[in-house]
């Protein structure tokens, strides 16, 4: 996946459960850009775990 800020390549950190308020959570894929260092995430249906 490309970085939304600079378009550089990103490294995959893994999938975590992200809390949305007190009662709801979604699974997100956490990534970090190798060029600018931006940490970003996207929704996924995978189970939480680090790679």
Write out the two tokens for 18.
């992200």
Report pLDDT digits (tens) over 4-50: 999 999 999 999 999 999 999 999 999 999 999 999 999 999 989 87
How high is the pLDDT of residue 31? 95
- Give the pTM: 0.80
DSSP 1: -
List all residues 6 or more positions away from 16 whose beta carbon is below 8 Å from its beta carbon: 27, 28, 30, 48
């Amino acid at each position: 996946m490309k970085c939304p800020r600079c378009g550089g390549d990103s490294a995959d950190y893994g999938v975590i459960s992200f809390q949305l308020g007190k009662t709801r959570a979604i699974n997100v894929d956490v990534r970090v850009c190798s060029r600018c260092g931006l940490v970003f995430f996207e929704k996924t249906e995978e189970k939480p775990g680090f790679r």
